[in-house]
Amino acid sequence: MPNSIKHPRCAMTILALVLLPVGAVAATTTANQSDGAQLCEIKATPGAGMVRLDALIHADKRVGGAYTFYVEKLGDGGSSTINQSGDFDAIKGHTAILGSVSLDSKGAKYKATLDVVIQDRSFGCTKQIGGD
């Protein structure tokens, strides 16, 4: 046994803790894909000094659940947060708009997070925008 590993159980525990998040992400992705590949998206559409953020879900089968759409703004004029949440029903083959926010795009940074729960399974997506 090499001198650098004096406690093999400790080394195995550390390795397991490092690899656990990787396995959890893979398991979540696989579970979502096998349940109809419900995918979330935060779409940013700029226009006239504003940016519109849409919280979307794409489904290849009819699904219902709940969502939380959280937007945090940081800029020269201060900070603000916007929270939207509710239930939804997405139709097979269509994109459902769960929430929308229109914001000033000049000199501000935005972080938007969409969390979705469908049949006791959670997934989400995040988008960062701005700073120019």
So what's the pLDDT on residue 10?
A: 43
In which band, very low, low, confident or very high, does the pLDDT at 7 lie, cut at 50, 70 and 90? low
Residue 15 Cα distances to 1, 2, 21, 28, angstroms: 17, 17, 11, 20
* 120/31 Cα distance (integer angstroms): 12
Domain residue ranges of the chain, discontinuous segments joined by +: 1-34, 36-130
Question: Which class does domain 36-130 fall in?
Answer: mainly beta
Q: What is the pLDDT of residue 31?
A: 38
pLDDT exceeds 60 at position 37: no
> What is the mean pLDDT of the segment spanning 13-30?
38
Whether residue 28 is predicted with pLDDT greater than 50 in this model: the reply is no
**Greater model confidence, 109 or 55:** 55
Tokens matching residue 92? 């097979």
Specify the pTM.
0.68
d(CA 41, CA 30): 18
Looking at this protein, which amino acid is placed at residue 7? H
Is residue 112 predicted with pLDDT exceeding 90?
A: yes
Residue 30 has pLDDT above 80, yes or no: no
Confidence label for 50 from pLDDT (cuts 50, 70 and 90): confident
> Average pLDDT, stretch 67-91?
91
Residue 104 has pLDDT above 90, yes or no: no
Place of tokens 């849409």: 54
Q: CB of 71 within 8 A of CB of 53?
A: yes
**Looking at the predicted structure, is the pLDDT value of residue 20 above 50?**
no
